[in-house]
Amino acid sequence: MKRDHRIDAYIAKAQPFARPILKHIRSLVHNACPDVEETMKWSFPHFDYQGEMMCSMASFKEHCAFGFWKASLMKDKSLTANARSETSMGHLGRIMSLRDLPSDKKMTAYIKEAAKLNEAGVKVKRSPVPTAKKELIVPKGLMSALKRNAKAMTTFSLFSYSNKKNMCNGSETQRPNSPAKTALPPL
């Protein structure tokens, strides 16, 4: 059973209530899928199997979370229903004690099912990311300043959409629907 020292450190830094939960989940994952690989992604523990994400766990100030990367493909639809309810990240709801976890038998079955999906090479169908960007509304004051300074306008035009958006949102303290904002002309 190969363990990642970063996950040891993550568990050690977790709130005292969370440590036994995280240790128990980790043990269940390793017992159900001995060839699982531990790693850190997005600053919390993940368990990869056959080169793909299988499941993850996380600890917060007052609860823990555990989820499956392919939960939408698993038999128990309550997993995705829990995730949609937005009570917490993950598929098991807010885990505040070991009693909040499903039985070891049920957890083991979930983990083995997730492992089989990875073995079969099953992929989760992801919604395509929209490529069209929303119209950027530039505050009137910023647009006036840019029009008065060609170099600033050129620099602004070279910014990424998200940088332009950040600059527009931070340049004035007006409400988003304020009439003082104008659409950015094509640059």
Same domain as 77, residue 42 = yes
Helices (H), 90-133: 104-119
Lowest mean pLDDT among 4-13, 32-41, 141-150: 141-150
pLDDT in tens, 29-76: 999 999 999 999 999 999 999 999 999 999 999 999 999 998 888 888
Is residue 132 one of the residues assigned to a domain?
no
Same domain as 42, residue 15 = yes
pTM for the whole thing? Answer: 0.66
> Could you tell me the sign of the dihedral formed by the alpha carbons of 141, 144, 149, 150, in that order?
positive
Contacts 24+ apart (CB under 8 A), 21-24: 21/59, 21/64, 21/95, 21/97, 21/98, 21/101, 22/57, 22/59, 22/64, 24/98, 24/101
Residues 2-37: b if buried by 16+ CB within 10 A, e if exposed: eeeeebeebbeebeebbeebbeebbebbbebbeebe
Any idea which residue has 């659409």 for tokens?
Answer: 183
Domain that holds residue 12: 5-119
Is residue 124 one of the residues assigned to a domain?
no
Same domain as 97, residue 22 = yes
Q: What is the CATH number of the domain that holds 111?
A: 3.90.1150.200
Task: Between 122 and 40, name the one with better pLDDT.
Answer: 40
Same domain as 56, residue 11 = yes
Q: What is the chain's mean pLDDT, rounded? A: 85
